[in-house]
Structure 1
Amino acid sequence: MVLVVTDGEPTAHLEDFDGDGTSVFFDYPPHPRTIAHTVRGFDDMARLGAQVTIFRLGSDPGLARFIDQVARRVQGRVVVPDLDGLGAAVVGDYLRFRRR
């Protein structure tokens, strides 16, 4: 089970610029490489059989579109809680799917 809480599109990822694999690449709007890294990470989780739930905070259309596409791709779920209900939504989702 993977629970992801996000309030924005992916804007950073790790690159191996100097051979140690820990350099951070940041760009806004999201760079295609960052999007590719993010999608690959979700694909890897799905390939391992993880149930992915993404908690989307905010109503940005770009974020909503990206999250919906990723969730469909990995057969995951999208939950859009209000900020006051975020904690309860995350814990509730965890407990509900942990029992499966």
Structure 2
Amino acid sequence: MVITDGEPTAHLDEEDRPRFSWPPSPRTAEVTGAELDATLAEGAEVTFFLMADDERPRAFRRSLSERPGVRVVDTTSETLGPAVLGRYPRGSF
């Protein structure tokens, strides 16, 4: 489960140093996508709860939702709690 404002803004570079960028750099988006793909390749299912509705987050949302094994839930700060709890059956944590 990932709760996000909708955009990747940091990644580790080749020397494991943190790199921060807003708006997100193409490299940050690339590294984030590669990490997500590696997680999915191990059989994980990932749910993103997105809390933003600007153009850049919508583009990132589209790139996420195209991947098998990824669910994307649009939410707000007011609906986040019920959205998270509603996605998981009681006792599945």
Give the direction of change, closer, same or farther, for the CA distance of 1:54–1:24 in structure 2 (3 Å limit). same
Higher helix share: 1
TM-score (norm 2): 0.83
Distance 1:41 1:83 in 2: 26
The number of residues matched between the two structures is: 92
Extract unaligned runs of 5+ from structure 1. none
Deviation at 1:16, TM superposition (A): 4.0
Q: Are the equivalent residues in 2 in contact too, given 1:13–1:24 (CA < 8 A)?
A: yes
- Verify: 1:29 aligned to 2:23, yes or no: yes
Quote the sequence identity (%): 39
Q: How far apart are the structure 2 equivalents of 1:41 and 1:86?
A: 25
Opposite residue 6 of structure 1, the aligned amino acid is T
Any stretches of 5+ residues in structure 2 without a counterpart? none
SS in structure 1 of the partner of residue 49 of structure 2: strand
TM-score, reference length from structure 1: 0.78
* CA distance in structure 2 between the aligned counterparts of 1:16 and 1:76, rounded to whole angstroms: 27
> What stretches of structure 1 move > 2 A for 4+ residues in a row?
none
